[in-house]
A = this chain, B = another copy of it.
Amino acid sequence: MRLAELSERSGVPVPTIKYYLRERLLPPGRRVTATQAEYGPEHLRRLRLVRALLQVGRVPVAAAREVLAVAEDGDLDQHGKLGVALGALPQERPEVAEDDPAVVSATRVVTELTEALGWPPPGPAHPAAALHTLIAAVASLIRLGYPCELRHLLPYGRLAAELATHDLDVLEEYASATERLEAAVALTVLHEPVLLSLRRLGHGVESARRFGEG
């Protein structure tokens, strides 16, 4: 299809598509004349992912480009690709001082937690940004004196592990490795607000059940 049709079918305006092409968020089409190129279904799919990242996930252009470049890297196996792509997704990375006593305790609790979950010890299998964010968040809880022992965190870990299994099951429904990678990135980002809102709704329902006037 030509650029105009790609725009119509994706709902993305032509100038925006041109911008994505310039920023290398979208691979170039196949040149057919000096001024025209032909686009395929892979461009439609990629546009969808770019919109998910930029508009919904608020991922900066440079980080999005890094995530997308992985899809085209022939040297990585599938797990490597997923790991690099998800690891490149930005997450807030609060400052962490390694000699801070709260950080030392947090690292210990997080190690206990991964052991209790039967996960490999923190290492290459774990996305580094996620591990960093987890330790920083647990350190905040400890510093503020909120309950943060293994028994408080374990239910979170168990449910996160169940969610991850469910997420990967959904991914496996995709036919090709590229589609799977694209869906992994999009669904990781798009499901985060779903999860947080559902938890807050659950608080409302459960609190009404326990403390409401019924």
Contact = CB atoms under 8 A, between A and B. Distances in A.
B165 A130 contact: no
A108 interface: no
A134 B200 CA distance: 10
A144 B53 CA distance: 11
A204 interface: yes
A143 to B, nearest CB: 8
24 contacts: A48-B144, A52-B144, A56-B137, A78-B211, A86-B200, A114-B201, A119-B205, A125-B205, A125-B212, A126-B205, A127-B201, A127-B203, A127-B204, A130-B197, A133-B197, A134-B198, A146-B186, A153-B194, A160-B198, A160-B199, A160-B202, A161-B202, A161-B205, A168-B210
Interface of A: 48, 51-52, 56, 77-79, 82-83, 86, 91-92, 114, 119-120, 125-127, 129-131, 133-134, 136-138, 140-141, 144-147, 152-153, 155-157, 159-168, 170, 172-173, 183-184, 186-188, 190-208, 210-213
Contact of A163 (B125, B134, B183, B202): B202
Given A160-B199, A195-B196, A204 B78 contact: no
Given A52-B146, A130-B197, A164-B205, 20 more contacts: A48-B144, A48-B145, A52-B140, A77-B211, A82-B211, A91-B196, A114-B201, A127-B200, A130-B198, A133-B196, A133-B197, A134-B201, A141-B190, A146-B183, A155-B163, A159-B162, A160-B195, A161-B206, A164-B202, A192-B199
A179 to B, nearest CB: 11
- Secondary structure of the A side of the interface? helix
A146 B187 contact: yes
B163 A208 contact: no
A156 B162 CA distance: 10
Contact of A201 (B51, B130, B138, B191): B130
Contacts of A201: 114, 119, 126-127, 130-131, 134, 160
